[in-house]
A = this chain, B = another copy of it.
Amino acid sequence: MGQEIERKFLVTGDGWREGAEGTLYRQGYLAKDKERTVRVRVAGAKAYLTIKGRTSGTSRAEYEYEIPLKDAEELLNLCEGPLVEKTRHKIPYAGHTWEVDVFHGDNEGLIMAEVELQSEDAHVEMPDWAGKEVSGDVRYYNSSLSKKPYKMWTDT
Q: What residues of chain A have their CB less than 8 Å away from a CB belonging to chain B?
A: 1, 30-31, 35-36, 38, 49, 51, 53, 61, 63, 65, 67, 70-71, 74-75, 78-80
Contacts and interface: CB of A to CB of B under 8 A. Distances in A.
Q: Which of A35, A51, A75 has the most CB of B within 10 A?
A: A51
B63 A65 contact: no
A38 B30 CA distance: 8
Given A36-B80, A51-B75, A63-B74, 18 more contacts: A1-B70, A30-B30, A30-B31, A30-B36, A30-B51, A31-B31, A31-B38, A35-B80, A36-B78, A49-B51, A51-B78, A53-B78, A61-B74, A61-B78, A63-B67, A63-B71, A65-B65, A65-B67
Contacts of A74: 1, 61, 63
A80 B51 CA distance: 13
A40 B116 CA distance: 27
